[in-house]
Each structure stands twice: as C-alpha cells, then as structure tokens.
Amino acid sequence: MVLGWFKRLVKKSSMLVEVSRPLRWRFHLFQDWWATKVWTRTREVVTPFGFRLVSGLHPAYELMRRGEFEVHETELVVDLLARSDRFVDVGANLGYYSCLALKSGRQIVAIEPQPQNLRCLYQNLVANGWQDRAEVLPVALSDHPGLLSLYGASGPSASLVKGWAGYSPRYKQTVPVTTLDNILAGRFEGERLFVKIDVEGAEYGVMKGALKTLAREPAPAWLVELCLHEFHPDGSNPDFLAVFNLFWQAGYQAYVVGLTPRPLSRDEVEGWWSKRHTSDETFNYLFLATDQEPGPRSSRVA
C-alpha cells in the first residue's frame, strides 16, 4: 500500500512538473525582459576565477558571478585555452568566456552585435585592464555580409532567428553582419585558434561563412552551442544535422560536452535527427581535428 501511494505521488509530481514547465518558462521570459528593459543596473564583482565581472540582473549572470555558469563548459574552455594561442568568441555576450581567456594570458577576438551586451563587455575589459589585449567587433555573423534583424529584448538571448525561445518578435533591431572567414582572412597564420560559437539558433549561417576557417592549419578547436529540440520556433532545428555534416566533411570529430567529453558517432547524431530529439541533456558540442583529443580536465584558471 505504501509503495503504491509512493508511485502515485511520483507520477503526480512528474505530471505537475511537466504542466508547470510552460509557466516557469514564461516567468523566465518575464525576468529576462525585466532585467533588460526595466532594471538595467549593473554591478561589479570579482569572480572565483579572479577577474572582475560587470553584469546585470539576468539569472545567467548571477551564475557567472558565483563561478557556477556552464560548469563543464567552463572547465573545458580552460583546458582548451592552455593548448591555444588565440580565442575567438562568437556571440561573446558580456565577455564571460573572453575574460577567462584573457585571464589565461590569451589574446582574443570578441564578436557581439547586441548593444547592451557590448556596453558590459567594454566595461569588463576596462575593469580588468585588458582593453589593449582584446579586439572587439560589434557585428553578427552569417554566411554573407549585410544587414539582418536581431530579435528579442534580451541581451543574453537575442537571436537572428525570429521567435527564438518564445521571445517576442516585437523587439528587434537592425545589426551589421559579416562572416568569420572575412574577419580571419590572412590573419593569425600558424596560430592555434579556439573558436566558441553561441549565437542562439543561427549556427548554420555562421558555419557556412567559416568554411575557410574550418580548413585552416592547424585546425581550430570549436565549442558550439547547437540545439535540436530546444527553443526553435518550429519545434526543431532544421539545420542541426547540416552543422555536423560541415564539421565531418572538414575532418573533425564531434564530442558531447559533459563531465568528460564523449565522442559522438555519425550514426548516433543521425539517430537523433531522425527522432528530432537528442539523448543528452546538454546542447554544447566540441569539434576537434581527428588527430586531436580533449585533454585532462582542470577546474580553475591559473
């Protein structure tokens, strides 16, 4: 009897969690809008990684301030930075990962189109005395230069994809666009580049504009946020498999980012694609040349 009661409670709790999920996401959207349009104050803290961070009210920023943001991804970035010469931060936001790179002694190229994010990014570079070691480009990236609409009120979640993550398309602005190949053309020859891409659903356009960068020697390391069944307005990402194909065609191995990066086979990714659903909770993926491997994990910037 007790066991049956417990099973019913668990089932009911699971149903309640599922029913409340849309309401909780709507509350998150409201928090995001409030922090972007109403409560725009920022504050400066010293993070556990030893750099100063100027940030606002958004929940993700609180995690950054405490050193609890994307824990596995942060540890992986620290490890890859130790084997890289330059960090290219595509979708830099306010510069959390750029600051990690600069704290590690690396030069950076930070690419970010959203004006509110840029203001914090500039403040973070100045607060740490890194304004002479960083190149900041206030543009979005795609497969060709031009102008595009950046949707969403949010600094953290603004996207070139209309309707991304349920954000209202009423908030939009026109931003300049170029390609990663244009930015890196003829530059940093022989350097080991580490490229992070976090562009809220617009990854395929970025990668189509980075085919020459994919073919560079030495091959860059890539950390890409790529959603399949999360956040896309049509329910799933139509370009999910195409992004993987670009990396595979260029000779890269894919890994799922977690406590330990796990190699991904083509069959597994194609299985996800056929079901329109991944089997891992993360949507961050590492791409390395086939002669490279993820190194030993560390937990803090030296």
pLDDT of 154 reads: 64
**Quick one: DSSP state of residue 159?**
B
What band does 73 get if pLDDT is binned at 50, 70 and 90? very high
Both structure tokens of 76: 């992986």
pLDDT of 16 reads: 45
Residue 12 has pLDDT above 50, yes or no: no
Domain containing 239 equals 22-289
What band does 17 get if pLDDT is binned at 50, 70 and 90? very low
Arithmetic mean of pLDDT, 59-77: 94
Residue 30 has pLDDT above 80, yes or no: no
Residue 31 has pLDDT above 70, yes or no: no
Arithmetic mean of pLDDT, 83-104: 97
pLDDT of 21 reads: 56
pLDDT of 25 reads: 54
Instruction: Classify residue 7: in a domain, yes or no.
Output: no
Arithmetic mean of pLDDT, 204-230: 97
Residue 4 has pLDDT above 70, yes or no: no
Instruction: Classify residue 163: in a domain, yes or no.
Output: yes
What band does 9 get if pLDDT is binned at 50, 70 and 90? very low
pLDDT of 38 reads: 66
CATH of the domain at 187: 3.40.50.150
Residue 15 has pLDDT above 80, yes or no: no
Residue 138 has pLDDT above 50, yes or no: yes
pLDDT of 176 reads: 98
Both structure tokens of 27: 């509350």
Q: What is the mean pLDDT of the chain?
A: 88
Residue matched to tokens 């390395």: 288
Arithmetic mean of pLDDT, 29-44: 70
Instruction: Classify residue 299: in a domain, yes or no.
Output: no
Please provide the DSSP assignment of 96-145 as one string. Answer: HHHHHHHHTT-EEEEE---HHHHHHHHHHHHHTT-TTTEEEE--EE-SS-
Asked if residues 98 and 89 have their Cβ atoms less than 8 Å apart, the reply is yes
The rounded Cα 174 to chain-centroid distance in angstroms is: 21
d(CA 286, CA 83): 14
Instruction: Classify residue 1: in a domain, yes or no.
Output: no
Residue 13 has pLDDT above 60, yes or no: no
Residue 79 has pLDDT above 80, yes or no: yes
Instruction: Classify residue 91: in a domain, yes or no.
Output: yes
How many independent structural domains does the chain possess? Answer: 1
Instruction: Classify residue 71: in a domain, yes or no.
Output: yes
Arithmetic mean of pLDDT, 60-70: 94
d(CA 196, CA 75): 14
pLDDT of 293 reads: 85
Arithmetic mean of pLDDT, 203-227: 98
pLDDT of 108 reads: 98
Asked if residues 230 and 283 have their Cβ atoms less than 8 Å apart, the reply is yes
d(CA 61, CA 96): 9
Instruction: Classify residue 173: in a domain, yes or no.
Output: yes
pLDDT of 123 reads: 97
Which of 12-26, 57-71, 72-86, 282-296 is predicted most confidently?
A: 72-86
Q: What percent of the chain has pLDDT over 90?
A: 70
* Phi, psi (degrees; rounded to nearest 5) at 248: -65, -40
Instruction: Classify residue 210: in a domain, yes or no.
Output: yes
- Its pTM stands at 0.88
What band does 37 get if pLDDT is binned at 50, 70 and 90? low
